[in-house]
Amino acid sequence: MLTKRIIPCLDIKDGRTVKGIYFENIRDAGDPVELGARYAAEGADELVFLDITATHEQRKTFAELVRQIAHHISIPFTVGGGISTAEDVHTLLNAGADKISVNTAAYRNPALIDELARLFGSQCVVVAIDTKFEENDWWVYLNGGRIRTQTRAVHWAHEVVDRGAGEILLTSMSHDGAKQGFALDLTRELATTLPVPIIASGGAGTMQHFLDVFQQAHADAALAASIFHFGEISIPELKAFLKQNGIPVRD
């Protein structure tokens, strides 16, 4: 049976992980390769590496880091952050990334999604959508949540799938950081109406929250950062809990 995926997200700044601090017996918790390998060994199903300071000059450094990650880690991983052209994607996939995620650039130039799907296949094109609940609806935000658009998240999600996105990474800014659980309503709406997997992100605080997003909202995968980095939830423990509650997970 296809399993639900648990995905730790590592933010990268200047080639170092931000917030990665808890692991014992790890030589350098700021080293994305070592931290990623540790998560892989603990049973993470995939990893996401987000280059949060991606500027043109730094992209080469990031590609080299992606190469290192691919060399050492034997589970799939997605890279994102500042990707805006097919050439960026080509570089990162050639360095060994399995998927890339696009966000603001895809919104500014939606034809980018079609182009990436045609050139590289939908299976490696993840579209990240950051969204906030305001005035009774979910709105798309850009530039790491700094710019609000007048586009409804549900509308945009359908468009990106029509254009060839293979997965959606859905982050609720209304829930992110609050540790009160994922955005169940929106996740459910997308997961049950779109023909591609939905990765839910934002709001995980307890193991029950993961169970809820799989059981009630039918998410295909759940992503979290700080609760894993700070050791508040360990992946083996989380997977055992989900399994006990009838969620198919890889053990």
Partner 1 sequence: MEIAVIRYHAGNIQSVLFALERMGYRAHVTDNARIIRSADRVIFPGVGEASSAMSYLKARKLDEVIRSLTQPVLGICLGMQLMARYSEENNTPCLDIFPEEVKKFSSEGGLKVPQIGWNQITQLHSPLFEGVKDGAYVYFVHSYYVPCCAYTIAAASYGITYSAAIQRDHFYAVQFHPEKSAEVGERILRNFIHLS
The residue ranges that bind partner 1 (CB under 8 A) are 1-3, 5, 40, 45, 70-72, 74-76, 93-96, 98, 121-124, 166-167, 192, 195-197, 220-221, 250-251
Nearer Cβ to partner 1, position 1 or 135? 1
**Least distance to partner 1 from the beta carbon of 199, Å?**
10
The closest alpha carbon to 197, from 127, 97, 143, belongs to 127
**Least distance to partner 1 from the beta carbon of 17, Å?**
21
Nearer Cβ to partner 1, position 94 or 143? 94
The closest alpha carbon to 38, from 23, 53, 21, 50, belongs to 23
Catalytic hit among 31, 45, 130, 220: 130
Nearer Cβ to partner 1, position 102 or 142? 102
**Least distance to partner 1 from the beta carbon of 121, Å?**
6
**Least distance to partner 1 from the beta carbon of 97, Å?**
8
Let me know if 11 is a catalytic residue: yes
Q: How many helices (H) and strands (E) does the chain have?
A: 10, 11
| Cβ–Cβ < 8 Å for 37, 70 | no
Unique residue bearing structure tokens 């007048």: 150
Cα–Cα distance, 186 to 213 (Å, whole number):
11
Let me know if 137 is a catalytic residue: no
Cα–Cα distance, 188 to 219 (Å, whole number):
7
Nearer Cβ to partner 1, position 40 or 173? 40
What are 230's two structure tokens? 């700070």
| Cβ–Cβ < 8 Å for 50, 78 | no
Which residues are identified as catalytic? Answer: 11, 130
